[in-house]
């Protein structure tokens, strides 16, 4: 069993699910998605199980995303594995959001892409000081998915737009500030948490019991949230109605406390796929008005077109396959992305924000 990619155990009426591909940073493949979904369904029906803890082996990553190389290879072969993966991954993520028993997601190390999809629907989201969270999809010519079109637009102000477009990774203090985590538990307390979980008496509702336990071991706020300091600038720049306007606004930033950040953010955007940036901005704007199921359906609608019409194959080639780090995006610049092309990915033809260029 130690070689299985997902481990399942029950202790003190708690189901423990552990991602077990530490050498691959616990990146999700189809087998892992299926194992997770089946076990969660079984425990949902088991009256003996009161709660679930979701965690991962290895200190480097809770889950660094989906196994994107396998999806790239699937499309290259003419297989449908990539289509099946997204359908089943999104079904799992949506199931977690509606799970009838409390899930405590315990995140140590990288929590990226598909890893975020696993945890954002959990009742109790716990990070350690080693956590690095993010949605880095635009860097590989893709868009934030796994429910990000729902959870990113619901962060305060324009934080979700900023995180979704740039793909920046944030640490524990920022995760708590943004509302992407609920608690921070020092990594040296992980063993103590397990000991306490094994000895919980279940005299109150399971979620209340878990919350009370976390209140004794973990923090809900941490000092040093960079996003808090940057919030005025993020609000000003990322509320604009196109990625090109956001970029131009960042370039015009003159306040000393924000200037370096603005310059670095422009560099980040300039390394991303222009098409992915524009589609991402549109996706997040639409997601503000959609419910969770509609967001997952919209992301799946984009997925079914993206390998053939988007930039993901080129992004994965440049960054993961050939590793030349020189993707040839199509189109190559924001100015060349037109509104009609962005709109063509979405149901209907109207975009949320009318500009001459989609960029």
Q: Report, as residue numbers or ranges, the catalytic residues.
A: 66, 114, 137, 145
Could you tell me if 275 and 140 are in contact, meaning their C-beta atoms sit under 8 angstroms apart?
no
Of 329, 308, 312, give the one whose Cα is nearest residue 69: 312
Could you tell me if 5 and 37 are in contact, meaning their C-beta atoms sit under 8 angstroms apart?
no
- How far apart CA 44 and CA 98 sit, in angstroms, is 11
DSSP string, 78-144: T-SHHHHHHHHHHHHHHHHHT-SS-EEEEE-SEEETHHHHHHTT-SEEEE-TT-EEE--GGGGT---
- How far apart CA 149 and CA 140 sit, in angstroms, is 18
Of 81, 234, 77, give the one whose Cα is nearest residue 155: 234
């Amino acid at each position: 069993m130690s070689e299985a990619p997902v481990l399942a155990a029950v202790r003190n009426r708690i189901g423990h699910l552990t991602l077990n591909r530490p050498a691959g940073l616990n990146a999700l493949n189809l087998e892992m998605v299926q194992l997770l979904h089946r076990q969660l369904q079984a425990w949902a029906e088991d009256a003996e199980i009161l709660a679930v803890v979701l965690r991962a082996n290895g200190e480097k990553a809770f889950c660094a995303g989906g196994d994107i190389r396998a999806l790239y290879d699937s499309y290259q072969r003419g297989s449908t594995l990539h289509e099946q993966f997204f359908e089943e991954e999104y079904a799992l993520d949506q199931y977690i959001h509606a799970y009838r028993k409390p899930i405590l997601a315990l995140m140590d190390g990288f929590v990226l892409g598909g890893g975020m999809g696993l945890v954002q629907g959990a009742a109790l989201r716990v990070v350690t000081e080693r956590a690095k969270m993010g949605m880095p999809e635009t860097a590989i010519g893709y868009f934030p998915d796994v429910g990000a079109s729902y959870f990113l637009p619901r962060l305060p102000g324009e934080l979700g737009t900023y995180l979704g477009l740039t793909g920046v990774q944030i640490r524990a203090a920022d995760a708590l500030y943004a509302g992407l985590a609920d608690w921070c538990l020092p990594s040296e307390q992980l063993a103590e948490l397990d000991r306490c979980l094994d000895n919980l008496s279940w005299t109150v509702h399971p979620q209340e019991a878990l919350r009370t336990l976390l209140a004794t071991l973990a923090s809900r706020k941490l000092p040093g949230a960079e996003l808090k300091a940057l919030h005025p600038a993020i609000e000003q720049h990322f509320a604009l109605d196109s990625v090109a306007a956001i970029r131009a606004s960042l370039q015009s930033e003159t306040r000393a406390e924000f200037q370096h950040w603005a310059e670095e953010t422009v560099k980040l955007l300039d390394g991303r796929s222009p098409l992915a940036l524009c589609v991402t901005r549109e996706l997040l704007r639409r997601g503000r008005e959609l419910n969770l199921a509609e967001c997952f359906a919209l992301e799946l609608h984009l997925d079914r077109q993206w390998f053939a019409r988007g930039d993901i194959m080129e992004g994965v080639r440049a960054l993961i396959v050939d590793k030349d780090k020189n993707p040839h995006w199509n189109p190559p610049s924001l100015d060349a992305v037109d509104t009609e092309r962005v709109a063509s990915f979405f149901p209907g033809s109207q975009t949320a924000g009318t500009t001459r260029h989609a960029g």
